[in-house]
Amino acid sequence: MKVAETILPFDAADYLTSDEAVADYLAAAFETGDATDVSHALATIARARGVGKLASESGKARGTLYKAIGDGANPTLETLLPLLRAMGMTLTVRRLHA
């Protein structure tokens, strides 16, 4: 008798269980230079941490947060900075290597 295999879809949120994992995941998204990658990473982290909790900790309404990090979103700095703070992160700028 053949046993059927079940393949579950991959969800990065399942692996974002530590602050270090979250920081590495978000840093990798920023390193691509693609705003879509950053928005997707923020949404994934929000799912992992809880959108309601991050909304409360960032001082943003839940609906505002969903809109800011949803598909095709382009969050403003006004939204991004408090969201990063609520995640225990900060934005750092460094010079590109020539």
Q: Is residue 98 part of a domain?
A: no
Q: What is the pLDDT of residue 94?
A: 84
Total count of domains within the chain: 1
Does a structural domain hold residue 61?
Answer: yes
Domain contains 94? no
pLDDT by 10s per residue, the chain, length 98: 777 788 889 999 999 999 999 999 999 999 999 989 999 999 999 999 999 999 999 999 999 898 988 888 888 899 999 999 999 999 988 888 76
Identify the DSSP state of 18.
S
Radius of gyration of the chain (CA): 16
Model pLDDT, residue 29: 95
Q: Which residues contact 29 (CB under 8 A, 6 or more apart)?
A: 37, 38, 40, 41, 42
Residue 35 in any domain: the answer is: yes
Residue 75 domain-assigned (yes or no) = yes
Q: Which domain holds residue 72?
A: 17-86
Q: What's the pLDDT score for residue 98?
A: 62
